[in-house]
Amino acid sequence: MSLSIAYILKMYPRFSETFIVNEILELERQGVDVRVYSLRKPDDGRFHRKLADVKAKVIYVPQYPQYEVARIREAHTFLRQAYPERYATVKTYTEKRGHDAAVKRFLQAGYVAAHLLRHPVDAMHAHFATSATRVANLVNRLTGIEYSVTAHAKDIFHETVKADSLRNKLGAARFVVTVSNFNRTYLHGLLGEDSAEIRTLYNGIDLRDFRPKTTPRTPNRILAVGRLVEKKGFHYLIDACALLKERGLQFDCHIIGKGEWETRLKNQIAATGTG
C-alpha cells in the first residue's frame, strides 16, 4: 500500500503558496496518497493552472465552528467515545489555555481527528508553525497520529511569536522541515539538541516547466517577484544592481510586486541611478 499523508493547511488553495501545490504534486508523482484539510475556504478568485493536476481530496474544516454546531458536535461525540481519556486531557488543556482561539482550534482539531479515525492516514504534515500546526498538534494529542511541520519565516520570527508556544507545537512533531539553514540553526537553538530532527528543504521549482531560449540575450535579464516588504530583500538586489552598473555590466532588472516598501524601493532605485 502507498504512503498516505494528511496535509493540514490554514487555507487551500492560496495564490501565493505555489510551493505547497508543487510539493503535493511531487508527492503524488512519487505515489503518495495526499489528502488536504483546510481550516479556511479560499478568499481569492485567482488560481494556478497546476491546481488542475492535483488529485488530493480537499476537506474544508468548519471555519466558524460556532455556526456549524451539528457537524462539530457529531465529530466530538464520536471522538470522545473513541478515546475518552485522551479527549478529556486535551479538553482540560484547552480550557487552561483560556482564550477563544484555543477553543476554536480544539473544535477544529476534533473535527479533523474524527474524520481521520474514519479515514485513516499514516501521518499528518502542516505548513507554517501557526494555526495549522496547532491543529495538527491537538489531533496528535487526541489520536496519537504523528505529524511533521514545515516552518517558514513569519511563523517563527515575527515579534508576536511566543517561544514557549513554538516549542510546544514543534517539539512534539516527528520531524521539522524548514526552508533555510539559517532557520534550521535558529530552531535548533530554540528547541534544543533533544528536539525532533530538523531538516532543511528549500522551496524549489520544477525546471521542466520552463524552456530556456537558446539565442543569446543582451542585456542580461534579472526578474524578481514577491511582496515588496523588508524581509524579501529587494533593497539588496537594488544595491547589487548598482554594483553591476559601476562595473559597466549590461543588465535589465525587473521587480514585480506590491507592498509597503514600494515607495522606498522606488526612491532607492532613483538614488542609485539604476532605474
Mean pLDDT check: name the lowest of 58-67, 109-118, 211-220: 211-220
Strands (E), 13-142: 33-40, 57-60, 123-127
Cα dihedral 234, 239, 240, 244 sign = positive
Give residue for cell 505529524.
147
Mean pLDDT of 148-171: 95
Select 4-200's CATH number: 3.40.50.2000, 3.20.20.60, 1.10.275.10, 1.10.3470.10: 3.40.50.2000
pLDDT for the residue 266: 97
- The model's pLDDT over 178-201, given as tens digits with 9 standing for 90+, comes to 999 999 999 999 998 767 799 999
Confidence of residue 98 (pLDDT cuts 50, 70, 90): confident
> Rounded to the nearest 10 degrees, what angle do helices 100-118 and 84-97 cross at?
160
**In the chain, ranges of CATH 3.40.50.2000 domains:** 4-200
Residue 260 has pLDDT above 70, yes or no: yes
Express each pLDDT in 30-63 by its tens digit. 999 999 999 999 988 888 888 999 999 999 999 9
What is the per-residue pLDDT for 145? Answer: 98
